[in-house]
Amino acid sequence: MSKIGIPRTLAYFLYYPLWKTFLDELGEEVIVSPPTSREILDQGVKDAVNDACIPIKVYHGHAAWLRDKVDFIFSPRLVSVRLFGDFGTETFCPKFLGLPDMVRLTVDKLPPLIDTRVGIKKDPKEIFNIAADIGDVLGKSAADCKKACRKGLEVHKKYQKLLSSGVLPPDAIAQLFPNEPETNNKVRREEHQRQRLVRKPNREEAGLNIAVVGYPYAIYDDYINGGILGLLSKENVQVFTQDMLSDKVLNRQAKHLLKSTFWYFSNRAVYGGLHYMKQKRIDGIIHVTAFACGPDSVVDRLLEIEAHRHSSKPYLSITIDEHTGEAGIRTRVEAFIDMLNYRRDKI
Amino acid sequence: MKVSFPHMGYSYLAFKWMVEHTGHECIVPPEPSKRTLDLGVRHSPEFACIPFKMLMGTYLEVAEMGAEMIITSGSNGPCRAGLYWVMHQYLLEELGQPVKIVALEPPLCDMRDFIGKLRLIRKTGGISTKQLIWVLQVTWEKVKAIDEIERHSHEIRPYEIGKGDTTRAFWQALEMIDAANSINEVRLAYREALKVLDAVPQDNSRNPLKVGIIGEIYVVLEPSANHYMQIMLGEMGVQTDRSIYLSGYTKKTTIYDLEGDLYTVAQPYLNEAPIGGHGANSIAETVLYSRHGYDGVVQLAPFSCIPEIVAKSILPTVSRDHDIPVLTLFIDEQTGKAGVQTRLEAFVDLMERRREVKQKQSTIARRLVI
């Protein structure tokens, strides 16, 4: 049994239940890095290349935190998860494509990375071969891997169901794995008691309904975005994110664009934004983006123009970087909420 | 129709000829200036890279001059440049400019789309398919000739005796290509143009440093985006070679195709290719430049360029393993010429010193053997 570390950022928010179940079934011990903190961020800023965006820097920090605690770091190279896009070219941001190499060559004294290439756009069944490849590294038989992978996909489906019922990913993960080792769970539980995050979408007109779109690692990581979801729920706002929508609903928006973007997470954010713009009960849209994020330079302006053209919904774009403080975010969010309330009173 | 296109290095001469001979009126894009960049920056997303902003500025300038259609290229990602025509179209519409952008996507991705767009260009210009093919052939010949002349000019510039002679001869050579009107004329003009360049008085006793230039295609190709870096280096007495030319017609001369597949070369460092743009190429080319005995490599990229950031984080390891210094310059609208020059001068000093040390070591080694 080896210890396998999973950095709590980037794709963690969408795929952790799948990974965790798969590795558990194989009999490995999974260690997740703690939620992003000042130390992790500082370490990441120190290790990573200075031009990288904050999520990538944070990833470096998480990898560095894990280095002397685990035998392997689980960092699969995400290339494609479905056949989609204008020429079937949907992939991930180039930084995701080069991520394992970036981490391996910049963070010192790392344990070996499990950087199996995940490219399943040609055939979704490929995932079993990928599982076998990972098992190969860990010395497991192909049959065991297939079984574990199947179990993982089951849990993944359950997870997606939870998400589409309006549960936010950190809560959904806590629901699926209530007995996680104390070291991992304690911090998170405290975090949760501090800010009770939103559960069910509320259809009543009492509070405001705001759609928060952006990359999962930007909107669910409470440290790097200044706890924006917590701030919103304290103001009695119902939060909607693109991850609460099924692929079917999201992909319906594709036809409204001249060309879909090349990146999986960006497509989800754009379509989520477009979907919520057309929803009557949504009062405003917040887009959380990282400083100097390449794909977001396209996504952000696209959403802004579309919000301006096809709806009367206010649109706020919040840029986060390593100097983002809670006060700054709070001021902007409060001003936005005041403005929405004012609009509502007027109408 | 009044047709224009993006300004990218000296290739505009070939595209100007192409547009004129497809029956359209050509609006020649002005060389990107301070004003172009200012216009672009004002109307672009903050974190778009400098190519986007420069093109935005160029499009607004040609729109002012009356352009109705802009021909540009698309791409299938994952670099965001493939989405830029979409964004430009959106932004031009927002600004109330009645310009249509026709983006040619890679034909292998979508043949029907490609042919449809070519037909649109042909129909609006009123020429036959046969004529269009001929025009494209001549244009391609011109692009190749222009690239080859430019490459040659960078080769001889460090040897020039009178500063600026090469650049003057280069422009003369470009004018000769520009005047040619058929494949044979282009070939003839190309031969003559090489003679003009070779006639520049040269001091062949010099042993210039050799620097490879790698990075993102637009800032590498467009001299006004990189502050005329290759000319600047040439006049400092450094021979430059760059990895990217528009024609890719570089089999004999540059490192392309000399060593088989670039991605195989990059694999020990980056186990995934392509990662968009020229990210993987930058890594492989650094390795190749080192193998070919170059003294250093300059990586050029626009600020926030995703593939080049990946490359940048890997390059220090490549540089260490292959013992070749790498200077990375990220260019944005704040970059000034003096800043670039200072860094380049320091880099040239560093390379000269390395060369001296190496020579000294080899003489000592030789003496020890004797």
Measured between CA atoms, how close is B82 to chain A, in angstroms? 9
- What's the pLDDT at B75? 79
Residues of B contacting chain A (CB within 8 angstroms): 45-49, 52, 74, 76-80, 82-83, 86-87, 89-91, 94, 105, 109-110, 269-272, 275-277, 279, 303-307, 309-314, 316-317, 330
Candidates B277, B176, B130; CA nearest to B218 is B277
CB contact under 8 A, B47 and A305: no
Whether the per-residue pLDDT at B205 is higher than 80: the answer is: yes
Instruction: Provide the pLDDT confidence category of residue B47 given band limits of 50, 70 and 90.
Output: confident
Whether the per-residue pLDDT at B80 is higher than 90: the answer is: no
Residue B46 Rama label (left phi>0; alpha psi -120 to 50; beta): alpha
**B152 and B228 assigned to the same domain:** no
**Residue in chain B nearest A108 by alpha carbon:** B317
**Structure tokens given for B36:** 């172009």
Whether the per-residue pLDDT at A185 is higher than 60: the answer is: no
Measured between beta carbons, the chain A residues lying within 8 angstroms of B275 are 94, 97-98
| 3-state secondary structure at position B192 | helix
- Please spell the DSSP secondary structure of B94-119, one letter per residue: HTT---EEEEE--TTT-HHHHHHHHH
Residue finishing a domain among B205, B239, B265: B205
A52, A87, A105 member nearest B76 (Cβ): A87
- What's the pLDDT at A182? 43
Measured between CA atoms, how close is B157 to chain A, in angstroms? 33
Instruction: Provide the pLDDT confidence category of residue B251 given band limits of 50, 70 and 90.
Output: very low
**Residue in chain A nearest B320 by alpha carbon:** A105
Whether the per-residue pLDDT at A191 is higher than 70: the answer is: no
Q: Which residues constitute the domain of residue B91?
A: 2-127
Per-residue pLDDT tens for A141-153? 888 888 899 999 9
- What's the pLDDT at B342? 93
Whether the per-residue pLDDT at B78 is higher than 90: the answer is: no
pLDDT, average across residues A279-287: 89
CB contact under 8 A, B110 and A86: yes
A283 touches chain B (CB under 8 A): no
Answer whether B246's CB lies under 8 Å from B143's CB.
Answer: yes
Q: Please indicate whether residue A344 or residue A158 has the higher confidence score (pLDDT).
A: A158
What is the rounded distance in angstroms from the CA atom of residue B135 to the CA atom of residue B183?
Answer: 10
A97 touches chain B (CB under 8 A): yes
Q: What is the ipTM of this complex?
A: 0.85
Measured between CA atoms, how close is B3 to chain A, in angstroms? 21
Q: Please state, rounded to an integer, the average pLDDT across all residues of chain B.
A: 88
Whether the per-residue pLDDT at A124 is higher than 60: the answer is: yes
**Residue in chain A nearest B330 by alpha carbon:** A51
CB contact under 8 A, B269 and A101: yes
Q: Does the A201-346 domain belong in CATH 3.40.630.40?
A: no
Measured between beta carbons, the chain A residues lying within 8 angstroms of B303 are 51, 292
Measured between CA atoms, how close is B315 to chain A, in angstroms? 9
What is the rounded distance in angstroms from the CA atom of residue A264 to the CA atom of residue A89?
Answer: 10
Answer whether B273's CB lies under 8 Å from B243's CB.
Answer: no
What is the rounded distance in angstroms from the CA atom of residue A1 to the CA atom of residue A29?
Answer: 7
- What's the pLDDT at B46? 86
**B105 and B216 assigned to the same domain:** no
The residue of B41, B42, B46, B47 whose CB has the most chain A CBs within 10 angstroms, and thus the best one to mutate to test that interface, is B47
**Structure tokens given for A53:** 């965006």
| 3-state secondary structure at position B46 | coil
Whether the per-residue pLDDT at B240 is higher than 50: the answer is: yes
A49, A94, A101 member nearest B276 (Cβ): A94
Whether the per-residue pLDDT at B250 is higher than 50: the answer is: no
Rg (CA), chain B: 22
A87, A98, A296 member nearest B270 (Cβ): A98
A307 touches chain B (CB under 8 A): no
A125 touches chain B (CB under 8 A): no
CB contact under 8 A, A101 and B310: yes
**B120 and B13 assigned to the same domain:** yes
- What's the pLDDT at B252? 40
A105, A263, A296 member nearest B313 (Cβ): A105
Candidates B349, B141, B150, B358; CA nearest to B245 is B150
Q: Please indicate whether residue B277 or residue B247 has the higher confidence score (pLDDT).
A: B277
Side chain identity at residue A198, one-letter code: V
CB contact under 8 A, B271 and A77: yes
- Please spell the DSSP secondary structure of B244-292, one letter per residue: --TT---TTTSSTTTTS-HHHHHTTT--S---STTHHHHHHHHHHHHHT
Answer whether B69's CB lies under 8 Å from B3's CB.
Answer: yes
- What's the pLDDT at B259? 44
Q: In Å, how far are A213, B21, B107 from B65, measured between CA atoms?
A: 40, 20, 31
pLDDT, average across residues A23-37: 89
**B113 and B248 assigned to the same domain:** no
Side chain identity at residue B319, one-letter code: S
**B368 and B229 assigned to the same domain:** yes
CB contact under 8 A, A105 and B317: yes
Phi and psi at residue B298, to the nearest 5°: -110, 125
**Structure tokens given for B252:** 């004999």
CATH number of B32's domain: 3.40.50
Residue finishing a domain among B175, B190, B205: B205
Task: Find tokens 């440049």 and name the residue.
Answer: B81
Q: What's the total number of domains in chain B?
A: 3
As to burial, measured by CB atoms within 10 angstroms (0-12 exposed, 13-18 middle, 19+ buried), residue B36 is buried
pLDDT, average across residues B85-92: 90
**B198 and B221 assigned to the same domain:** no
Whether the per-residue pLDDT at B213 is higher than 70: the answer is: yes
Q: In Å, how far are A41, A214, B15, B113 from B105, measured between CA atoms?
A: 40, 28, 17, 8
Per-residue pLDDT tens for B290-302? 988 899 999 999 9
Per-residue pLDDT tens for B144-203? 899 889 989 999 999 999 988 999 999 999 999 999 999 999 999 999 999 999 999 999
Give the CA diameter of chain A.
66
- What's the pLDDT at B292? 87
Candidates B339, B302, B116, B272; CA nearest to A115 is B272
Residue spans of the domains in chain A: they are: 3-165+167-175, 201-346
CB contact under 8 A, A101 and B48: no
CATH number of B214's domain: 3.40.50.11900
What is the rounded distance in angstroms from the CA atom of residue B325 to the CA atom of residue B236?
Answer: 18
- What's the pLDDT at A249? 86
Candidates A242, A254, A184; CA nearest to A215 is A242
Answer whether B82's CB lies under 8 Å from B310's CB.
Answer: no
Instruction: Provide the pLDDT confidence category of residue A196 given band limits of 50, 70 and 90.
Output: very low
Of A182-186, A303-307, A308-312, B328-332, the poorest mean pLDDT is in A182-186
- What's the pLDDT at A169? 86
The residue of A104, A113, A260, A298 whose CB has the most chain B CBs within 10 angstroms, and thus the best one to mutate to test that interface, is A298
A112 touches chain B (CB under 8 A): no
**B73 and B117 assigned to the same domain:** yes
Per-residue pLDDT tens for A85-113? 777 788 888 888 889 999 998 998 899 99
Answer whether A22's CB lies under 8 Å from A149's CB.
Answer: yes
The residue of B91, B105, B275 whose CB has the most chain A CBs within 10 angstroms, and thus the best one to mutate to test that interface, is B275
**B101 and B142 assigned to the same domain:** no
Q: Classify the C-alpha dihedral B228-B231-B235-B240 as positive or negative.
A: positive
Measured between beta carbons, the chain A residues lying within 8 angstroms of B329 are none
Per-residue pLDDT tens for B258-270? 445 777 888 888 8
**B248 and B285 assigned to the same domain:** yes
pLDDT, average across residues B92-108: 86
Whether the per-residue pLDDT at A30 is higher than 80: the answer is: yes
- What's the pLDDT at B4? 93
What is the rounded distance in angstroms from the CA atom of residue A167 to the CA atom of residue A270?
Answer: 20
Percentage of chain B lying above the pLDDT 90 cut:
49
